[in-house]
Structure 1
Amino acid sequence: MVAALCTEALGKDRVIGVLMPNGVQSDIDYAKLLVSHLDIKHYIINIRDAVDGVLSQMTKSGIEISEQTRINLPPRIRMSTLYAISQSNNGRVANNCNLSEDWVGYATRYGDGAGDFSPLSNLTVSEVKEIGRSLNLPSEIVDKVPIDGLSDQSDEEKLGFTYDVLDKYIRTGEIEDKTTKERIDYLHDLNKFKLELMPSFEYK
C-alpha cells in the first residue's frame, strides 16, 4: 500500500520496490504482483545467506539463539538492506507499518518498525484497505490475509483477535469481549517503547 501511495504522490519513476524473500517465501508473489501492477523499478534481494551467516557465527561463538531472535533477525536484516539500497540511490526508506500494528506492537524494533517516513502510521488496517480500493489495487492484494512472513500463522492468529475488532476499539473504544480488551490493552502498554525514541541522559 505504501508503494502505491508513494507512486501516486511522487510518480512511478521516483519509487523503488525492494523484495526481500528469506530463501523461498510463499507470499513473495503478492509483492511481485504489486510492483508489476504499479510498473515501478524493483530489486529482488534474497536475505537467506545474510540470515544464515549471522546465525552461524552466533552458534560458533557459543551463543544460545532464542526463538524470538530467529524471528526478529530477518526483518532487521531487511531494514539494513533497505537502507543500503536507499543510500546507493539517494533515496529515503518508507515505513510500512500502520496504526493497528503499531497499537499492539506488531512490528520489530529497528526492523519493519524503522524508516524515514511513515505514510500509514495514523491509519488502521480497515482504512488502509479502503485506500487500496480507491487506488484500484488488485483485490488479491487488498484483501489478502495479513501475515508477517516469519511464521506459518496469520497476524490475527498470532495476536488472538481480528483487525476488525482492534480497529473498532481504536476508533470508538467499543469492544464486546472483555478478555480481548484486556489482551489489546496489555499489548498496547507492553509495546509503547517501540514508538519512542531512544532515551537520552543528562550528566551534571
Structure 2
Amino acid sequence: MDLGKERLSQLAADLEKWCQDRMAVIGSDQAVIGISGGKDSSVVAALAVRVCGKDQVTGVLMPYGDQADIDVARALCRHLGIRHHEIDIAPAGQALTAAVEEAVGPMSRQASLNLPPRVRMAVLYAVAQTLGGVVWNTSNLSEDWVGYATIYGDTAGAFSPLATLTTDEVIQLGRLFGLPDRFVEKPPADGLTGKTDEDVLGFSYADLNRYIRTGVCEDPAVKAQIDHLHRASRFKFKPIEMFHSGLPIVADDIAGIYKND
C-alpha cells in the first residue's frame, strides 16, 4: 500500500513515540539489533538511531560461516554510524548439531534450518544483557502472516516495531529515514537455503501484501496457499499456553498473565 507522504510521516512519528515508550517502560536506552543487511533490520536500526541516538545503538552481525552479503550489513552500520560486533555463529551451530545428532540421530531439514535463527537470538540476548540493552525484533507483517519465521528465533525480541507493516510499507519507511536503495531494495532471502523468500514461498510479496490489505487475490491457488500458511502458523505468535490449576493466586498479578478465565 502506498501510504502517501503525509500518512507515512505521521506513521513514522507515531512509531518513534511508541518505541520511546517501550524503552522507557523497560528502563533502558540501549538498543541491540541483529543486522542482516536486508531491509527489515536496516529500517529497524535506522529507527533505533532516531529514537535512541546512534551512540546508544549496537548492531550485531551474525554470519553462519561465509555470508555473501555481509558487506551490505557492515555498510549499513557505517552509514548509520552505529557500533557493531561481528560474531560467527557457525562454530556454535555446528557444535549443537553434532551434539544433537550424536544423541538422537540425523537432524531433520527443518530443524537444521531453524537452528541458526535460534542461535542468533541467543547471541543477541547475550550481547544485550551484557551491555544492558534491549533486543528489538525485526520481523514484518508479510513474513509473519504466512509464518515465514522461526519461533523462539526471529519471532523473539522485547518488542516488534514492524509487526503490522508489510514489506512494501517497510521500504517506504526506509526511504523516509533516508536509507539508500541498497539497504531497502535487496530481494529478501533467509541466507540459508540459497533462495529468495519468494522462491521458497511460491508467490510474490506484491500478491501477499495486496491480499493482506485489500482481501483481494485473483489466483485461487495462491489465496489457498496463503490462507493455509496463515492458519498453520498462528501458534508461533501466541503466548505460551499455561495450565490453570484452579488454585488461588492472591498476589497482585499486574500483567494479568495468570488470570484464570
- Classify the TM-score, shorter chain: over 0.9
Letter in 1 for 2:238: E
Counterpart in the other structure of 1:17: 59
Is 1:142 the counterpart of 2:165 in the alignment?
no
SS of match in other structure, 1:61: helix
2:109 equivalent in structure 1: 67
Of residues 167, 183, 191 in structure 1, which corresponds to 2:233? 191
| Equivalent runs, 1:85-100 vs 2, <5 Å | 85-100=127-142
Distance between the aligned counterparts of 2:104 and 2:138, measured in 1?
A: 35
Structure 2 counterpart of 1:200, one-letter code: M
Match of 1:101 in 2: 143
Deviation at 1:149, TM superposition (A): 1.0
- Correspondent of 2:72 among 20, 30, 36: 30
Counterpart of 2:152 (choices 95, 110, 134) is 110
**In structure 2, how many angstroms separate the alpha carbons of the residues matched to 1:76 and 1:63?**
20
Shift in Å at residue 61 of structure 1?
1.9
What is the identity, as a one-letter code, of the residue corresponding to 2:146? V
Q: Specify the alignment match of 1:201 in structure 2.
A: 243
Equivalents in 2 of 1:59, 1:115: separation in Å? 29
Residue in 2 aligned with 1:120? 162
SS at match of 1:136: coil
Give the TM-score normalised by structure 1: 0.98
TM-score of the pair, normalised by structure 2: 0.77
Aligned residues: CA RMSD: 0.9
Between 38-47 and 131-140, report the one with greater CA deviation.
Answer: 131-140
What is the deviation of 1:31? 1.0
5+ residue gaps in structure 1? none
Letter in 2 for 1:154: T
Structure with the larger RCO, 1 or 2 (CA within 8 Å, 6+ apart): 2
Identity %: 49
* Superposed displacement of residue 10, structure 1: 1.3
- 3-state SS of paired residue (2:135): coil
Offset, 1:25: 0.9
Stretches of structure 2 lacking an aligned partner (at least 5 in a row): 1-42, 247-261
Q: Distance in 2 between matches of 1:18 and 1:162?
A: 29
Residue by residue over 1:23-51, the C-alpha shift from the partner in whole angstroms, topping out at 9 and shown as x without a partner, is 00112222111111101010000001000
Equivalent of 1:164 in 195, 199, 206: 206
Counterpart residue identity of residue 85, structure 1: V
Partner of 2:5: none
Distance in structure 2 (CA, Å) of the matches to 1:10 and 1:41: 13
Which structure's CA Rg is the greater one?
2
Q: In structure 1, what is the Cα distance between the partners aligned to 2:176 and 2:226?
A: 29
